[in-house]
Copies of this chain bind each other. A is one copy, B any other.
């Protein structure tokens, strides 16, 4: 019982706020992708990282692992959903001239294929569909190295 162990580390999530002044959303996300700014704790907990950003788009990578598993022998749907929420949120941030408070009001995810440790590295791409003044909508896809689709989703974001 309890024969697998994992140890990981993360950074103070509030240290990020010192770095926000005077940078656009895209510049901040580029600094996060390059490693200049620390990844958030959840990215360390679940083992994913921001690898690409451009205006209106953010891409994460993740290696499905046993520590993501559900009771039915596959990766829990919470993993692709968390990847998609992250990618959609940061795709939105790249469209901001300067950081503003915002929140995800809702998300919807479809799961089209089970993720397992055999899947190998997956990429999750988030894209902005509609960027209004107060509300944005976004979409995301989780795909493997061959472009097979594992999950897709949409979300609604509100500027506070």
Chain A residues in contact with chain B, CB under 8 A? 1-14, 16-17, 32, 38-42, 44-46, 66-73, 76-79, 81-82, 85-86, 89-90, 101-112, 114, 129-130, 132, 134-135, 137, 149, 152, 154, 156, 158
Do A107 and B77 have beta carbons less than 8 Å apart? yes
Complex-state Cα separation, A70 to B44, whole angstroms:
10
Q: How many copies does the complex hold?
A: 4
A16, chain B: closest CB distance, angstroms: 6
Besides A45-B67, A107-B108, 10 other A-B contacts (C-beta < 8 A): A1-B38, A13-B69, A17-B73, A32-B71, A42-B79, A76-B85, A78-B86, A108-B154, A112-B132, A130-B149
A71: chain B residues at CB < 8 Å are: 13, 16, 32, 39-40, 90
A108: chain B residues at CB < 8 Å are: 106-109, 154
A4: chain B residues at CB < 8 Å are: 9-12, 41
Instruction: Identify which of B7, B39, B103 contacts A114 (C-beta below 8 A).
Output: B103
Please, could you name 8 A-B residue pairs with CB atoms under 8 Å apart, sorted by A? A10-B67, A14-B73, A17-B73, A40-B76, A45-B45, A78-B85, A104-B111, A110-B129
